[in-house]
Chains A and B, each alone.
Chain A
Amino acid sequence: EVQLVQSGAEVKKPGESLKISCKGSGYSFTTYWIGWVRQMPGKGLEWMGLIYPGDSDSTYSPSFQGQVTISADKSISTAYLQWSSLKASDTAMYYCARHNSGYYIDSWGQGTLVTVSS
């Protein structure tokens, strides 16, 4: 069974850094793209970017390019999403998502709630 298990909820202050994780299991982690999707409170889904763990090739949505960094450690089947300086507007639920070769998402993590507040 394919599983994506994300790290727990975070509460941070503006300006702090953060790295959240997503561990894949039940499939070959290096052969599927893993992406991240943001959902702000009461809003829709926003695609942030994705990475191919096999060679760490990545692509970002223009809206998120330069705002976050997506990485992966294939030795432990884990993908990451990180911020160097959080803003209150980064408060949201973040989902990791396995992308099928047809570029649709066939498996989702449970979500990580990030709250940024002073």
Chain B
Amino acid sequence: SYELTQPLSVSVALGQTARITCGGNNIGRKNVHWYQQKPGQAPVLVIYRDNNRPSGIPERFSGSNSGNTATLTISRAQDGDEADYYCQVWDSSTVAFGGGTKLTVL
């Protein structure tokens, strides 16, 4: 099965830029999607196909994907961005999720 590696935690100062990585073998050749999950809530899609934002997701959220690393970037971080973030790909007819990254806004 395809493995996706995320850091357990990332911290960012209020108003600064957070970057959450997702590593995988030649992940740059795949479409990567990102989800945000706040405590007690279902996940929400924030980026699809590497760098596309669904309707209603702020422009502060962006994504990139190249080589062996995909990155979710959150600009001007706010308290409301504090959450768990998961990357996801489709591989060999199955969905693979990364282990998740807890974003803390200081």
Contacts and interface: CB of A to CB of B under 8 A. Distances in A.
Interface of A: 35, 44-47, 50, 59, 61-62, 95, 99-100, 102-106, 108-111
A45 B100 contact: yes
Interface of B: 1, 31, 33, 35, 37, 42-45, 48-49, 54, 84, 86, 88, 90, 93-100
Contacts of B90: 102-104
A34 to B, nearest CB: 12
Contact of A59 (B49, B54, B94, B100): B94
11 contacts: A44-B98, A47-B94, A61-B94, A100-B48, A102-B48, A103-B90, A104-B33, A104-B45, A105-B88, A106-B54, A108-B44
B65 to A, nearest CB: 13
A46 B48 contact: no
Nearest to B90: A103
B45 A59 contact: no
Contacts of A99: 95
Contacts of A106: 45, 48, 54
Contacts of A62: 1, 94
A75 to B, nearest CB: 26
B95 A103 contact: yes
Given A62-B1, A104-B49, A47 B86 contact: no
Contacts of A46: 97
Contact of B86 (A44, A61, A100, A102): A44
Contacts of B88: 104-105
A111 B42 contact: yes
Contacts of A108: 42-44
